[in-house]
Amino acid sequence: MLRQQLDYQHSGDSQTVIVEELGVLHGSSRIDLAVVNGTLHGYELKSDRDTLKLLPEQADSYSAVFDLVTLVVGERHLLAAIDLIPGWWGVKVARMGSEGLLFRDLKLPTMNPSPDPISVARLLWREEALHILEEIDTRKSNHSKSRDRIYAELVTLLAFDLLRDNVRRSLKNRLVRQSDEIRASCDG
């Protein structure tokens, strides 16, 4: 239901890509939904049937990379969940109504005050990071460098806003490419 609302909200916006289960920190954590456009906005869903056991660790992971994060939580976990997330996160309450699942914004997110540049760079696959590095540093070959070394050089060579722009652009390109490949395999 939230996915459909986000699709509707961003319909007609070719600069926005929405992805389910985006891996962060090399897949050690996955956020339920991510909206990638001029910002990277993550949505973590916790229904009344879920537990909050993983939320503190997820909060740390998501706070390292996302510009904005919204926790979508059932009423049962609302108070406990608020105590487990950073103050800059948004909170959206989900509850069943006569017309189905309803969402109410309790608190809108604000911009992340302290994202971690190396964690943001790690959203890139090695080849994506290598491509960006070679665009900005054409003097030498970087193919033999380890993934971690490539990320470290990106963080050193790019201002953080430029790094984020490059990461978002690469994510959008990857997600559109994957979507096209899935569509083509279904048509075949």
Written as six digits, the tokens of 11 are: 């319909």
Question: What is the model's pLDDT at position 41?
Answer: 98
Percent of the chain residues topping a pLDDT of 70: 93
Domain end among 80, 107, 134 = 107
Domain membership flag for residue 112: no
Domain membership flag for residue 161: yes
Residues counted in the chain: 188
> What is the pTM for the complete model shown?
0.90
Sheet with 40-46: list strands edge to edge. Answer: 17-24, 29-36, 40-46, 68-74, 90-97, 100-107
Whether residue 17 sits in one domain with residue 91: yes
H helices of the chain, in order, are 2-9, 55-65, 78-82, 117-121, 126-136, 147-157, 160-187
Segments forming the whole domain that contains residue 18 = 2-107
Tell me the C-alpha distance between 64 and 151, whole Å: 15
Secondary structure, 3-state, 40-62: EEEEEEECCCCCCCCHHHHHHHH
| Distance, CA of 3 to chain centre | 14
Instruction: Find the CATH number of the domain harbouring 11.
Output: 3.40.1350
How wide is the angle at C-alpha 33 spanned by C-alphas 181 and 178, nearest 5°?
Answer: 10
Whether residue 23 sits in one domain with residue 83: yes
Across the range 64-87, mean pLDDT stands at 96
On the 0-12 / 13-18 / 19+ scale of CB atoms within 10 A, 132 is buried
pLDDT higher than 80, residue 53: yes
Question: What is the model's pLDDT at position 126?
Answer: 94
DSSP classification of residue 80: H
pLDDT higher than 80, residue 166: yes
Tell me the C-alpha distance between 71 and 92, whole Å: 6
> pLDDT band at residue 26, thresholds of 50, 70 and 90?
confident
3-state SS class at 33: strand
Domain membership flag for residue 62: yes
Domain membership flag for residue 10: yes
Whether residue 183 sits in one domain with residue 93: no
Output 92 or 96, whichever has higher pLDDT. Answer: 92
> pLDDT band at residue 12, thresholds of 50, 70 and 90?
confident
> pLDDT band at residue 182, thresholds of 50, 70 and 90?
low
Q: What's the pLDDT tens digit per position in 37-52?
A: 999 999 999 999 999 9
